[in-house]
Structure 1
Amino acid sequence: METLFTVLLILHITAGTISLISGPVSMANRKGGKQHRFTGKVFFYAMMLVSVTAVSMAVLPNHHSSFLLIIGIFSAYLVSSGYRVLYLKDLTKGQKPQQLDWLISLTMAAFAAYFVYSGLTGSTSSSFGNSNVISVVFGSIALLLVAKDIRKYTQAPADMNFWLYDHIARMVAGNIAAFTAFLVVNNAVLPPVVAWLGPTVIGSAVISFFITKYKLKARKSTNTEELVTPI
């Protein structure tokens, strides 16, 4: 069992390192370009391996960790839903989500409810700070994101660029998860709550910046088209 844990840990650290590098590089690359797509896929697969190994280690006997379970499940949901939305661009035109999309969202909903319940009842265990507060916070964020998923699956989004904004938000959030895990594990200075939630605060500002940028760009493009369209 210890050998299995060691192998999983090595894979986890390796994949985590790759994701910490490829994530920011992908964000810096021109959106939609060849390099962005390549580094984005590297980040996606690295994060999925991070998640799988995290969850696997979290459920091993004598190694149970609510920290790994929360980060593992939440990270897998963020990057998988952020990747899948690229194939759901036509929801505005009546496209229906596939069973895989529902499975991703509903699985996250179940775990998110568990995280919130565990945090509120004080049953979350971790050596990394106030895990009950963290469990409630991340579980609540996940429930809000799942609610957004269900809304766009059942009601056609009004904005044709919804998929771009969702993709940006979920993938940057995946980066947040990677940096949160790195900071929490290696933190020796910051208060635990700051280490846990600091990347979320900073990352949320990054998400807001990029989404606002592309919304303004889309609005400018629309206005330009209106000006040149014959009456």
Structure 2
Amino acid sequence: MSDYTVAHQINIIVHVIAGSLALIMGVVAMAARKGGKTHNRSGQIFLFLVAFVIATGLIGVFVFKVNTFLLVITLLSGYEAFSGYRILKLKSNTPKLLDILVALLAVASGIYFLYYFKTIGMFWAPVIIYSTLGTLFLLVTYDFLRYLIPKSRYRKLWLYEHIYKMVAAFTALLSAFVGTVFPQYHPYSQFLPSIFGTLLAISFIVYFYRKNRRRKNASLKKSA
């Protein structure tokens, strides 16, 4: 970092601190009682910190001309966090202009970075680049297709979508962190955190599905 300007060094420090704190807040949010004060507060701080990570990442690429694929992972994490938050807030699949615009921006950014990395050469493993962008495009595709789901059915699905996207946002940041700290283990240090996050999200979804199922059965027994 000694070759970087002071402004560039400050941007990197803020980026790293924001990302590290976001991971901590993500762990707190997942460990806390869902819907409780600690969960909600730590989740809000997590989103705030992700915004800082994205902003400093954009500054690094477009101001300081840093050629890094970490911003693409950050883009994926940012979109997942935004969409996960919007689901919690709206609890509905009614189309909103803000959600559509952000989804289109995410796709446009992904296409731009794909072209950008083909131009400069893919110095990261292609499997990491294509899987990350592929995940982003699949996620945006789902977000448009979910508008076709009947609203009565979606009311039973939004919680699981929120869980998946917020955990995925956390693990995207985790992949960027581990991939940076342990470059000698690429590409495993890049994609293994994503596998861990997927299993974690599935575990949470199964747990809350069974919990809601037990609640529903208990309610039916009482009313019988």
TM value normalised by structure 2:
0.88
Task: Provide the residue aligned with 1:213 in structure 2.
Answer: 207
* Matches of 1:188 and 1:197, distance apart in 2: 12
TM alignment of 1:145-156, pairs within 5 A: 145-156=139-150
CA contact (8 A) 1:16 1:46 kept: yes
* Matches of 1:90 and 1:185, distance apart in 2: 37
Q: Which has the higher contact order (CA 8 A, sep 6+)?
A: 2
Q: Which moved more, 1:99-108 or 1:38-47?
A: 99-108
Residue 102 to residue 36, structure 1, CA distance change in 2 (3 Å):
same
Task: Kindly state the Cα deviation for residue 40 of structure 1 after the two structures are TM-superposed.
Answer: 0.8
* Matches of 1:198 and 1:101, distance apart in 2: 30
* Matches of 2:90 and 2:147, distance apart in 1: 9
Query: Do structure 1's residue 83 and structure 2's residue 78 form an aligned pair?
Result: no
Residue 187 to residue 225, structure 1, CA distance change in 2 (3 Å):
same
What is the SS of the residue equivalent to 2:187? Answer: helix
Task: Kindly state the Cα deviation for residue 115 of structure 1 after the two structures are TM-superposed.
Answer: 5.0
CA contact (8 A) 1:74 1:142 kept: yes
TM alignment of 1:65-214, pairs within 5 A: 65=68, 67-91=69-93, 96-114=94-112, 122-123=118-119, 125=121, 129-130=124-125, 132-157=126-151, 158-190=153-185, 192-214=186-208
What is the SS of the residue equivalent to 1:22? Answer: helix
* Matches of 1:53 and 1:21, distance apart in 2: 19
> What RMSD over aligned residues (CA atoms) do the two structures have, in Å?
2.2
Task: Kindly state the Cα deviation for residue 56 of structure 1 after the two structures are TM-superposed.
Answer: 1.7
Residue 61 to residue 159, structure 1, CA distance change in 2 (3 Å):
closer
2:44 pairs with 19, 41, 46, which one?
Answer: 41
Residue 44 to residue 208, structure 1, CA distance change in 2 (3 Å):
same
* Matches of 2:35 and 2:53, distance apart in 1: 25
* Matches of 1:177 and 1:12, distance apart in 2: 15
Runs (5+) with no aligned partner, structure 1: none
Runs (5+) with no aligned partner, structure 2: none
* Matches of 2:183 and 2:112, distance apart in 1: 29
* Matches of 1:118 and 1:207, distance apart in 2: 31
- The count of corresponding residues between Structure 1 and Structure 2 is 220
* Matches of 1:116 and 1:165, distance apart in 2: 30
The amino acid that maps onto 2:156 is N
Q: Which moved more, 1:78-87 or 1:96-105?
A: 96-105
Deviations 1:87-143 (A, max 9, x none): 22133xxxx232111112222222334455667xx446465x41x322210111111
* Matches of 1:61 and 1:189, distance apart in 2: 25
The amino acid that maps onto 2:102 is I
CA contact (8 A) 1:78 1:170 kept: yes
The amino acid that maps onto 1:73 is L
CA contact (8 A) 1:112 1:139 kept: yes
What is the SS of the residue equivalent to 1:90? Answer: coil
Aligned residues: percent identity?
Answer: 30
